[in-house]
């Protein structure tokens, strides 16, 4: 089973959840592709591809909060914790699509028994941000480029020297030929 995860949740937790769902459904996890992607909705959603071992699960990245002063609801974009039961129900539902089941052949999500996920959790991943040393990288690149162009300049100077000597050689050869020709014409005129 291959799991790709672009959400802010831990991949190992998501993998455990999918493995447990596949096992509970009596399926083999071999050759499965499971994608976890961030979603803008407040609930877990998914796509299951008919007769294929491929599901895509969209996990919420926003909370809907009620503003106490205005009474309005608004979406707040911040890390939130996914509902494990809801995620498990969606995964089981999408696995049903993989087996070729249509919506009218499946039970409603809320009625799916996912008691096997009671011990599982989906935790937020710890984000390790590494700041790139952009100035250092660019300085290193500049030094490398300077060396490369100095090497090319040196090679160009050598080629130029080579071709200047060739031009001098042929200029002398042409001058000598012209002198010979002029000397030969001078002898013919003298006769």
CATH of the domain at 29: 3.40.390
Whether 9 and 62 map to the same domain: the answer is: yes
At 19, is the pLDDT very low, low, confident or very high (cuts 50, 70, 90)? very high
Could you say which of 86, 117, 148 is where a domain stops? 117
**What is the residue range of 151's domain?**
130-191
pLDDT, position 66:
65
Do the domain assignments include residue 122? Answer: no
DSSP H or E run through 102: none
Answer for the pair 128, 25: CB distance below 8 angstroms, yes or no: no
Could you say which of 66, 91, 117 is where a domain stops? 117
pLDDT, position 144:
95
Whether 113 and 156 map to the same domain: the answer is: no
Do the domain assignments include residue 58? Answer: yes
Do the domain assignments include residue 23? Answer: yes
Whether 155 and 181 map to the same domain: the answer is: yes
pLDDT, position 86:
87
Of the candidates 10, 3, 17, 16, the one whose C-alpha atom is nearest the C-alpha of residue 79 is 10
Residues with Cβ within 8 Å of 170's Cβ and at least 6 positions away in sequence, in order, are: none
Whether 107 and 140 map to the same domain: the answer is: no
Kindly tell me if the per-residue pLDDT of 72 is higher than 70: yes
Kindly tell me if the per-residue pLDDT of 76 is higher than 70: no
Whether 66 and 90 map to the same domain: the answer is: yes
Do the domain assignments include residue 177? Answer: yes
Kindly tell me if the per-residue pLDDT of 181 is higher than 90: no
Whether 138 and 178 map to the same domain: the answer is: yes
Kindly tell me if the per-residue pLDDT of 71 is higher than 60: yes
Average pLDDT over residues 91-110: 88
What are the angstrom distances between the C-alpha of 124 and each of 22, 60, 127? 23, 12, 9
Average pLDDT over residues 29-56: 87
Q: Is residue 100 left, alpha or beta, with left meaning phi > 0 and alpha meaning psi from -120 to 50?
A: left
Whether 7 and 51 map to the same domain: the answer is: yes
Whether 16 and 105 map to the same domain: the answer is: yes
Whether 6 and 64 map to the same domain: the answer is: yes
Whether 86 and 161 map to the same domain: the answer is: no
Separation CA 82–CA 75 (nearest Å): 15
* Domains identified in the chain, total number: 2
Angle between helix axes 11-24 and 84-98 (nearest 10 degrees) is: 50
Average pLDDT over residues 106-131: 81
Identify the residue with better confidence: 17 or 128: 17
Whether 152 and 90 map to the same domain: the answer is: no
pLDDT, position 81:
56
Average pLDDT over residues 121-130: 74
Whether 135 and 113 map to the same domain: the answer is: no
Do the domain assignments include residue 124? Answer: no
DSSP H or E run through 46: strand 45-48
At 80, is the pLDDT very low, low, confident or very high (cuts 50, 70, 90)? low
């Amino acid at each position: 089973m291959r799991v790709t995860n672009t959400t802010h949740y831990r991949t190992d937790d998501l993998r455990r959840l999918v493995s447990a769902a596949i096992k509970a459904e009596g399926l083999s996890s071999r050759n499965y592709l499971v994608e976890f992607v961030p979603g803008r909705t407040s609930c877990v959603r998914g796509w299951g591809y008919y007769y294929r071992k491929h599901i895509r699960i969209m996990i919420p990245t926003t909370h809907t909060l009620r503003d106490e002063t205005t009474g309005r609801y608004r979406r707040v974009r911040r890390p939130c914790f996914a509902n494990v039961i809801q995620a498990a129900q969606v995964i089981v539902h999408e696995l049903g699509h993989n087996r070729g089941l249509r919506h009218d052949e499946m039970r409603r999500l809320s009625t799916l028994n996912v008691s096997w996920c009671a011990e599982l959790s989906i935790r937020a991943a710890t984000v390790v941000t590494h700041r790139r040393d952009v100035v250092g990288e660019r300085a290193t690149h500049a030094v490398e480029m300077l060396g490369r162009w100095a090497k090319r300049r040196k090679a160009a100077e050598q080629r130029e020297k080579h071709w200047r000597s060739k031009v001098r050689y042929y200029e002398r050869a042409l001058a000598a030929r012209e002198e010979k020709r002029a000397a030969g014409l001078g002898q013919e005129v003298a006769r």
